[in-house]
Structure 1
Amino acid sequence: MEAIPIALDGYLAADAEPGTREGTASWRLTCSAGTDHLIEEAVIPCTTVEPELAHALLTERQPGDLLRVTGHLTLPDTADGAIRLHAEALEVLWEAPLLNPDSEATGTTTTTTDPDADRHSAIAALAEALTGLAQSEPGPGQSIRLHISPTGVLGTGLEHCHSFNLTPDQARQLADRIDALNCCPRSEHPDGGIALAPETLADLTALFAGIDLIDLTNAVLKATRPERRPAAIHAMDDMFGNHPDPDGTDP
């Protein structure tokens, strides 16, 4: 069957393995296409006969790396066969953090880590982010005190305790960021960004360009009780700028 040119984005599911011939390698790529309600994942077997590509996969890449693999996809001739992606190029979109940096010096790929050190580094990262959020003065009014620390601290580990004063607006901003994280499937890109296709951007631009503000104002006012129309007109003026009231209502 003819091979299909393709580029796939996915996570390296496990350590790559050397092929049967020198300068070759095989690995599994976990690809996903999901929505807020459904995540569909597929594990694609990949191989390469490119020596440089095989060397990079065997010595530089680790499970969890987000990769863009370009090559040709071979479909099975039978229903019980397996597809396979023959890779010709590789791009690293995101590198998974090393769970044990000492493994580079020893040449091992163990993922064992000290739970306390891992927790302390996570607290330090969170403290740094919160420091950036709370670096401005809280200002007038009541503020919100936020504490983070290791669990079970009784006189030890105090260097890992932090306190921050946030304004209510900053606390809501933090809550919005947490809500956004909770809404993203874990298999999506780590940065949470969504790259829209140029065709989609063009469609959205055409959609918003085609909105008639007069028609929109009419529709809003018709759905608004008469005593609430002045407030609705004022709100639309704040959003779109001053526009004449199509019904002649004096605000």
Structure 2
Amino acid sequence: MTAIPLALDGYLDDLPVPGDEGLTASFRVISSPTDDAMDETVWACRTADPHIAHSLLTWMRPGDLLRIGGHLVLPGPDDEGGPQLSVDTLELLLPAPTRHPADMVLDRYGPYLVVFDPGVHTVPVFTEAGTWVGTAEDPDAINDLIHAHETGSPPDGT
């Protein structure tokens, strides 16, 4: 394997995937030298630095503009997989803009549908077949409500 030092700026593509007990993380960064979609490159990245992994898993979100540095590892003829950037430095250059839905939004949680209304704090939840599940007190309580529906236990765990 060949390792080439590399630094680049790019946007976090999706949520990072935790590795060993959160001490590592895998993620993708989209970079373009010209800001033209035709010139975009998607970089498969991995970090073994627990501090970088923690930052990625805790504070970063898709769309954040990052500056990353590390070593591009090129596989040899007997290695499986493609090139991967082993990241050892990470800097947040610009956070992704916060999105505020202006209208009611219907979202899917697997076989469940939820309705987000910016004027209301509670979130109605029902199955895709139309069966009423209940109302979550806030967006953070949706998973608890779905779990309670699936297990037949009260949403608050009592």
- Aligning the two structures, in what range does the TM-score lie when normalised by the shorter sequence? 0.5 to 0.7
Number of the residue aligned with 1:91: 91
Q: 1:115 aligns with which of 103, 115, 118?
A: 103
Contact 2:17 / 2:27 at 8 angstroms: preserved in 1?
Answer: yes
TM-score (norm 2): 0.58
**Structure 1: 4+ residue segments shifted above 3 A:** 78-81
Number of the residue aligned with 1:173: none
Bigger proportion of residues as strand? 2
Percent identity over the alignment is: 45
Q: How does 1:44-55 map to 2 (within 5 A)?
A: 44-55=43-54
Structure of greater relative contact order (alpha carbons < 8 Å, 6+ residues apart): 2
Gaps of at least 5 residues in structure 1 are: 101-112, 117-251
CA RMSD of aligned residues (A): 2.3
How many angstroms does 1:39 deviate by?
A: 3.2
In 2: Cα distance, 1:35 partner to 1:69 partner: 18
Question: Closer, same or farther in 2 for the Cα pair 1:35/1:63, shift >3 Å?
Answer: closer
Gaps of at least 5 residues in structure 2 are: 105-158
Question: Closer, same or farther in 2 for the Cα pair 1:22/1:40, shift >3 Å?
Answer: same
- Which entry has the higher C-alpha Rg, 1 or 2? 1
Q: How does 1:156-195 map to 2 (within 5 A)?
A: none
In 1: Cα distance, 2:11 partner to 2:80 partner: 25
Number of equivalences: 103
TM-score (norm 1): 0.38
How many angstroms does 1:21 deviate by?
A: 4.7
Q: How does 1:144-223 map to 2 (within 5 A)?
A: none
In 2: Cα distance, 1:21 partner to 1:39 partner: 37
In 2: Cα distance, 1:76 partner to 1:45 partner: 13
Number of the residue aligned with 1:23: 23
Contact 1:28 / 1:46 at 8 angstroms: preserved in 2?
Answer: yes
In 2: Cα distance, 1:77 partner to 1:6 partner: 18
In the alignment, structure 1 residue 7 sits paired with structure 2 residue 29: no
In 1: Cα distance, 2:35 partner to 2:102 partner: 35
Number of the residue aligned with 1:43: 42
